[in-house]
Amino acid sequence: MRLFNYSLLLLSLIILSGCNAKKEKEKNTASLSDRYKNDFYIGTALSADQIEEKNPAVDSLIKKEFNAITAENIMKSMFIHPFKDQYDFTLSDKFIAYGEKNKMFIHGHTLIWHSQLAPWMQKIKDSTEMKAFMKDHITTIVTKYKGRVDSWDVVNEALNEDGSLRKSIFLNTLGERYLVDAFKFAAAADPKVDLYYNDYNNEEPAKREGNINLIKKIKAGGGKIDGVGIQAHWKLQHPSLEEIEKSILAYSALGIKVAFTELDISVLPNPKDLNGADVNQNFESNAKMNPYPQTLPDSVQVKLAERYASIFKLFLKHKDKISRVTFWGVHDGQSWLNDWPIKGRTNYPLLFDKNLKPKKAYNSVMELKETKQ
């Protein structure tokens, strides 16, 4: 009898340790991109150093967790087209090679954007010169990566907060037809690649209306547009899930894909309660505006985890309409939000901390997919 009990105990211990080992293995191999592989791509923005694989620990984290990439900066016009007759594809070639080597979805960011223009572009004054620039810039870049880039941000941030068109150098020289032209040039260079319009705050009612009109105008003008990018530079309380959901529904009703292209969630106070991502807005720092310089209190970690969970729950509800969810950076240490709208703060907007450790927010996003769907 005693022998029987002993064997039973031993058997239970073996089974238990087997289960724990399985759980441990699952923990080590489980990843965001794997958990969400039947739902949408899970992407990250890559810095130049990450494209060049300078830090092996960061590199293996990227390869493990993400299956889509966007270049955070190196494809912007000032870097890729610094002089009128000169392109610099050194880093963009490496970026594409990185995506291909790792079988990742490759997103191109960004062709036409009023910000980060090369100095020579800022001097363009008339419509003939501007149209020639747009045609050459878009055609050269899209043709070079034809069949290798999966989707492009053709136009970035063309709208004001009230939904009207931003008075950018493009609008000022060409009028609103520049929007249709940009999409036509891109489609002519690579008819198969997905073409997106990308903006921040375009889940807010007024800007959303403007964005819907813009998409309709592009279509009416004969432009091919396949999707809208909602950047998703969000906060703990804002925007509401209701507005995000209304946006997913309204945009997909136009027959296009919805992507969340630059997701991060700021946990810091903002001067003037600023929303969005206008890189030209900057303010002075002080201790009140930088409340967590060392670590993020657990109470806020929990709030961030809950916010991420509710957002991903909504994304899953509408997974048939969503093509990709991309985080704007791999880990907190590299986030642009450490320097915007106030320089030198410590923000905690992503799923991995600056030491590359998964945060509570990571677990909350993973746990949504723990049970087989």
Catalytic residues, by residue number, are 157, 262
**Closest distance of CB 89 from ligand 9MR, Å:** 18
**Residue number, 33 or 70, with CB nearest to ligand 9MR:** 70
**Single-letter code of the amino acid located at 192:** K
CA–CA gap between residue 279 and residue 98 (Å, rounded): 28
Report the first-to-last Cα separation within the chain, whole angstroms.
45
Residues 119-178 that bind ligand 9MR (CB under 6 A): none
User: Treating both helix axes as pointing N-terminal to C-terminal, what angle do 127-144 and 177-189 enclose, rounded to 10 degrees?
Assistant: 30
Cβ proximity to ligand 9MR: between 79 and 185 the closer is: 79
* Rounded Cα–Cα distance for residues 153 and 130 (Å): 19
* Binding of ligand 9MR by 332 (CB under 6 A): no
Sole binder of ligand 9MR in the list 336, 348, 352, 362 (CB under 6 A) = 336
Min dist CB 138 to ligand 9MR, Å, is 17
Among 39, 65, 72, 204, binds ligand 9MR (CB under 6 A): 72
Considering only residues 116, 160, 252, 270, which one is a binding residue for ligand 9MR as defined by CB under 6 A?
A: 116
Residue 270 touching ligand 9MR (CB under 6 A): no
Site map for ligand 9MR, 231-260, x if CB under 6 A?
x-----------------------------
Binding part of the chain for ligand 9MR, among 25-33, 70-78, 213-221, 356-364 by CB under 6 A, reads 70-78
Interface residue with ligand 9MR among 31, 73, 172, 252 (CB under 6 A) is 73
Counting contacts by CB under 6 A, is residue 262 touching ligand 9MR? yes
- Residue among 230 and 368 whose Cβ is closer to ligand 9MR: 230
Question: Stretches 71-79, 182-190, 205-213, 362-370: which one binds ligand 9MR (CB under 6 A)?
Answer: 71-79
3-state secondary structure at position 183: helix
Q: Is the CB of residue 113 less than 8 Å from the CB of residue 134?
A: no
Size of the site for ligand 9MR (CB under 6 A): 10
Name the residue whose CB lies closest to ligand 9MR. 336
Q: Which of residues 185-214 bind ligand 9MR (CB under 6 A)?
A: 200
User: What are 239's two structure tokens?
Assistant: 């925007």
CA dist 332 → 12, 51, 186, 194, 329 (Å):
42, 17, 34, 30, 8
76 vs 137, which CB is nearer to ligand 9MR? 76
Q: Is 315 in the site for ligand 9MR (CB under 6 A)?
A: no
Match 């509570």 to its residue by tokens.
360
Q: CA-to-CA distance for 334 and 284, rounded, in angstroms? A: 20
Which stretch, 49-57, 72-80, 83-91, 221-229, contacts ligand 9MR (CB under 6 A)?
A: 72-80
Question: Which residue type is seen at 230?
Answer: I
Q: Does 275 bind ligand 9MR (CB under 6 A)?
A: no
Between 119 and 191, name the residue whose CB sits nearer to ligand 9MR: 119
Cα angle for residues 154, 155, 156 (degrees, 5° grid) = 125
Beta-strand (E) ranges in 252-352?
A: 257-266, 322-327
DSSP count for the chain of H helices, then E strands = 14, 10
φ, ψ for residue 265 (rounded to 5)?
-130, 110
Are the C-beta atoms of residues 108 and 149 closer than 8 Å to each other? yes
* Token representation of residue 291: 């409340």
Is the Cβ of residue 110 or residue 301 nearer to ligand 9MR in the bound state? 110
Q: The tokens of 345 are what?
A: 């703060």
Is 230 among the residues that bind ligand 9MR (CB under 6 A)?
Answer: no
- Look at strands 151-156 and 112-113 and give their pairing: parallel
Question: Tokens 């100095």 sit at which residue?
Answer: 119
Per the listing, tokens 């694989």 go with 53
**Of residues 8-67, those binding ligand 9MR (CB under 6 A):** none
What does the binding site for ligand 9MR look like in residue numbers (CB under 6 A)? 72-73, 76, 116, 200, 231, 262, 277, 279, 336
